[in-house]
């Protein structure tokens, strides 16, 4: 469609455009309100913490960090804990009395455990809001849920060990739930009637809490991140310091305390429940243990099968073309989803290695296409630009053709700006102005840096690359790798001779369209000024 405006400036300044923009923003908002609300919160955190330390970008590793605090404080607490039914309560009370050391350790142990659940809930909300749970990501989502369960069981068994009235409530509720399982069939609960309880149970519980569940959790988490590469296991330092200090201050202001000592001849009436962990027990006052179990299983099953409600199709996986591969293994280095591995060369070529792709793991993000040294649009030999690894649905040749086409279209324009965007940041099809041309890739990580050079040399005044928000690539590392390639820190690097003034790499989410328009306008002004001088 031909725009009635001469240039971007006229277009953006027109009332008509402003109204359409408002409409678009509203429409997009209501199209996916959860995602949009999330993105506003995300922007606020970016403002407060900076993109590097935005906790929302590090929820997984923040959970790991909190688990480390839980572990270290737990070891301390264990040393001073008395693992017997008669001594447990007193030993925990003694910790709280020593407020400056054992008390702090106990509080850190409790609050860090609570914070893990809070952080994991945010982690779930984030992956869901940003639609990062379906398609090729089903595995991470599916294997995440059992870890939540293990965490909750870990918390429950921990509360049990204090042997106060809350522990008693938890113990009786748990045994009622266990009795509802056909394997126990009703004998469990009688253990918790006065006079029936032995130390044996308590030792079992301590074993479960100290060894059984933690080992299972470590294994579960290993599985959870198995399909990801370069998993961030260490949280950025700023966040580590901040969250540790916050926990420490909370522990000093509001130390963790117990209820009264357990007494099996009474029933605890008012309980200060830890809702992060003990939320299932009140259900027992409204439903039978069997119904409660069914409800809990139903909710977690529903959570687990979310990736298929409905599922999301992943485009066909990348395909290797050994005729254009020198086995440099950069694609293997860059793949965020562990879909590429290297093996000994099979085609008799003089190189040692070749990549192979596991289609089941491939996200079709194209990041490997961007890392292949053969994806250079200036290679002349072929009529068709062939590369070592390519996306069947949107091959690199097609992107070169699109670039050529838009450059021809812009040739008569006074200002020529080419924008490369991605499928997950701002929708560039909504940006329709006469002196701008847009090309959308699955991910900006797919853009070989040589394309910047190519586009500028073939007539563009400026190239703008608009990816996801910095640190928040939909495909984990796309914008990060491209930035490094541009800076010359990762191959294939951008030719040093390319004038850095003539292109810009920005990161925006769907809701940041106005900022992008401002960017475009600044670039336009700069080009016009340069033209005049």
Partner 1 sequence: MKTGLRYILQTINYSIFMLIVWYFSVAPAYTHLDVCQSVVVLAFGHAGQSVSKCRKRTPEELAALPPNMRNPMICPRERSPIEVELLLDDKLLFTEIFNPQGVSGDWGVDVYRRFNVPSGKHNLKMRLKDSVRVKDFNYIYEVDVDLKAAQLLTIDFQPEKGGFSVR
**Contacts to partner 1 from residues 61-120, by CB under 8 A:** 110-111, 114-115, 118
**Contacts to partner 1 from residues 269-308, by CB under 8 A:** 269-276, 282, 285
From the list 40, 3, 23, the residue with the least C-alpha distance to 509 is 40
Distance between CA atoms of 442 and 390, rounded to whole angstroms?
Answer: 12
Q: Which does 140 bind (CB under 5 to 8 A by kind): partner 1, ligand HEM, none?
A: ligand HEM
Distance between CA atoms of 390 and 318, rounded to whole angstroms?
Answer: 5
* The binder of ligand HEM chosen from 122, 178, 231, 322 (CB under 6 A): 231
Give 10-66 as a DSSP string: HHHHSHHHHHHHHHHHHHHHHHSHHHHHHHHHHHHHHHHHHHHH-GGG-HHHHHHHH
CA angle 382, 387, 392 (to 5 degrees): 110
Query: Residue 124 or 278: which CB sits closer to ligand HEM?
Result: 124
* The binder of ligand HEM chosen from 8, 39, 53, 60 (CB under 6 A): 60
Query: Residue 113 or 413: which CB sits closer to partner 1?
Result: 113
Query: Residue 116 or 225: which CB sits closer to partner 1?
Result: 116
**Contacts to ligand HEM from residues 172-191, by CB under 6 A:** none
Least distance between ligand HEM and beta carbon 307 (Å): 8
R_g of the chain, CA atoms, integer Å: 29
Least distance between partner 1 and beta carbon 214 (Å): 20
* The binder of partner 1 chosen from 13, 37, 246, 356 (CB under 8 A): 246
Query: Residue 163 or 481: which CB sits closer to ligand HEM?
Result: 481
Backbone region of residue 440 per phi and psi (left: phi > 0; alpha: psi in -120 to 50; beta: other values): beta
Distance between CA atoms of 402 and 424, rounded to whole angstroms?
Answer: 19
Distance between CA atoms of 474 and 365, rounded to whole angstroms?
Answer: 9
From the list 407, 312, 422, the residue with the least C-alpha distance to 370 is 422
**Contacts to ligand HEM from residues 125-164, by CB under 6 A:** 127, 132-133, 137, 140-141, 144-145, 147-148, 151
Report in angstroms the alpha-carbon separations of 275 from 38, 155, 247: 24, 11, 18
> Is 194 a residue that touches partner 1 (CB under 8 A)?
yes
> Is 344 a residue that touches partner 1 (CB under 8 A)?
no
> Is 250 a residue that touches partner 1 (CB under 8 A)?
yes
Q: Which does 264 bind (CB under 5 to 8 A by kind): partner 1, ligand HEM, none?
A: partner 1
Distance between CA atoms of 458 and 120, rounded to whole angstroms?
Answer: 49
Residues in contact with ligand HEM by CB under 6 A are 60-61, 63-64, 120, 123-124, 127, 132-133, 137, 140-141, 144-145, 147-148, 151, 221, 224-225, 228, 231-232, 303, 476
């Amino acid at each position: 469609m031909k725009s009635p405006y001469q240039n971007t400036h006229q277009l953006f300044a027109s009332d008509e455009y402003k109204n359409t923009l408002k409409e678009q923003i509203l429409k997009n908002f209501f199209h996916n309100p959860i995602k949009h609300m999330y993105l506003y919160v995300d922007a606020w955190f970016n403002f407060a913490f900076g993109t590097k330390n935005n906790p929302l970008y590090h929820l997984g590793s923040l959970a790991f960090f909190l688990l480390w605090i839980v572990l270290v404080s737990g070891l301390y607490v264990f040393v001073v804990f008395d693992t017997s039914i008669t001594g447990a309560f007193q030993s925990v009370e003694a910790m709280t009395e020593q407020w400056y050391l054992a008390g702090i350790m106990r509080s850190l142990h409790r609050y860090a455990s609570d914070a893990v659940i809070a952080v994991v809930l945010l982690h779930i909300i984030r992956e869901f809001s940003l639609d990062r749970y379906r398609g090729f990501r089903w595995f991470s989502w599916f294997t995440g849920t059992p870890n939540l369960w293990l965490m909750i069981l870990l918390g429950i068994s921990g509360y049990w060990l204090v042997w106060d009235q809350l522990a008693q409530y938890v113990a009786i509720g748990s045994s009622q739930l266990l009795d509802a399982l056909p394997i126990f069939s009703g004998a469990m609960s009688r253990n918790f009637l006065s006079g029936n309880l032995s130390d044996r149970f308590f030792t079992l519980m301590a074993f479960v809490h100290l060894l059984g569940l933690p080992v299972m959790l470590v294994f579960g988490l290993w599985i959870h991140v198995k399909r990801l590469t370069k998993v961030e296991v260490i949280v950025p330092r700023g966040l580590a310091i901040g969250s540790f200090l916050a926990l420490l201050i909370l522990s000093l202001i509001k130390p963790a305390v117990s209820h009264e000592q357990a007494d099996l001849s009474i029933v605890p009436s008012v309980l200060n429940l830890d809702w992060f962990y003990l939320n299932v027990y009140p259900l027992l006052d409204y439903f039978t243990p069997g119904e409660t179990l069914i409800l809990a299983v139903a909710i977690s099953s529903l959570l687990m099968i979310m990736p298929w409600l409905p599922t999301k199709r992943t485009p066909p996986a990348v395909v290797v073309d050994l005729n254009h591969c020198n086995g440099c293994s950069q694609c293997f280095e860059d793949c965020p989803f562990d879909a590429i591995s290297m093996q000994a060369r099979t085609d008799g070529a003089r190189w040692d290695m070749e990549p192979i792709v596991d289609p089941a793991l491939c996200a079709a993000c194209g990041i490997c296409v961007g890392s292949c040294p053969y994806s250079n649009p200036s290679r002349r030999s072929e009529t068709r630009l062939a590369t070592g690894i390519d996306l069947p649905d949107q091959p690199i040749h097609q992107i070169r053709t699109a670039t050529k086409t838009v450059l021809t279209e812009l040739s008569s324009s006074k200002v020529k700006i080419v924008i490369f965007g991605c499928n997950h940041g701002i929708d560039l099809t909504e940006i329709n102005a006469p002196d701008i041309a847009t090309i959308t890739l699955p991910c900006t990580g797919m853009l070989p840096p040589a394309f910047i050079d190519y586009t500028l040399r073939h007539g563009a005044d400026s190239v703008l690359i608009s990816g996801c928000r910095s640190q928040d690539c939909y495909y984990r590392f796309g914008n990060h790798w491209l930035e490094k390639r541009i800076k010359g820190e990762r191959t294939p690097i951008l030719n040093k001779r390319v004038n850095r003034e003539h292109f810009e790499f920005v990161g925006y989410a769907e809701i940041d369209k106005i900022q992008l328009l401002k960017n475009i306008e600044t670039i336009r002004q700069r080009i016009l000024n340069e033209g005049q001088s």
